[in-house]
């Protein structure tokens, strides 16, 4: 749409929407077991994303994300981390139209399956 045909008004996106997009995208990546609770920070104080494993910060309409992830055992941590970064960046850019500055991955744990006796 160009400037002349765009309807008047604006669209705002709540930070919780960005958190949910990032969380759901990360969970779809093969090798990601679950999200880990966010430790400290403003999201924890305000309840935004504290249990979702995502911390979002927006500066000058650019999204910065910290992802706290628990991975499955037996995978390549670097490959999974890069995949999460790429897919979260793409999802936010395509769904919301915002630029992404960084997607930082924090591996909090590895989920080892208990061996059956």
Q: Which residue bears the tokens 């941590």?
A: 77
Residue 96 belongs to a domain: yes
**Does the pLDDT of residue 116 top 50, yes or no?**
no
Residue 8 belongs to a domain: no
Domain of residue 95, residue span: 15-111
Residue 7 belongs to a domain: no
Token pair of 68 as six digits: 């706290």
Residue 25 belongs to a domain: yes
> For residue 82, what is the domain's CATH number?
3.30.70.1350
Q: How far is CA 59 from CA 1, 9, 85, in A?
A: 26, 22, 19
Query: How many domains is the chain partitioned into structurally?
Result: 1
Q: Could you give the CA distance from residue 31 to residue 33 in angstroms, rounded to a whole number?
A: 6
Mean pLDDT within 54-70: 93
pLDDT tens for 19-43 read 999 999 999 999 999 999 887 655 4
Q: How far is CA 82 from CA 18, 26, 29, 54, 79, in A?
A: 19, 11, 10, 16, 5
Mean pLDDT within 47-67: 82
Q: Could you give the CA distance from residue 97 to residue 12 in angstroms, rounded to a whole number?
A: 11
Q: How far is CA 43 from the centre of its chain?
A: 13
Tell me which of 20-34, 42-56, 80-94 is least confident.
42-56
Decide which of 100 and 43 is more confident. 100
**The predicted structure's pLDDT at residue 51:** 58
Residue 29 belongs to a domain: yes
Residue 40 belongs to a domain: yes
Mean pLDDT within 83-107: 97
Percent composition of the chain: helix, strand, coil (DSSP 3-state, to 5): 35, 30, 40
pLDDT tier at 8, thresholds 50, 70, 90: confident
**Does the pLDDT of residue 15 top 80, yes or no?**
yes
């Amino acid at each position: 749409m160009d400037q002349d045909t765009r309807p008047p008004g604006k669209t705002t996106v709540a930070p919780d929407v960005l958190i949910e997009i990032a969380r759901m995208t990360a969970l779809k990546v093969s090798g990601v077991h679950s999200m880990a609770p966010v430790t400290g920070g403003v999201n924890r104080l305000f309840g935004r994303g504290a249990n979702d494993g995502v911390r979002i910060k927006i500066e000058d309409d650019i999204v910065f994300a910290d992802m706290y992830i628990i991975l499955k055992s037996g995978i390549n941590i670097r490959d999974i981390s890069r995949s999460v970064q790429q897919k979260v960046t793409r999802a936010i850019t395509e769904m919301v139209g915002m630029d992404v500055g960084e997607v930082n991955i924090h591996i909090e744990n590895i989920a080892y399956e208990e061996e059956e006796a």
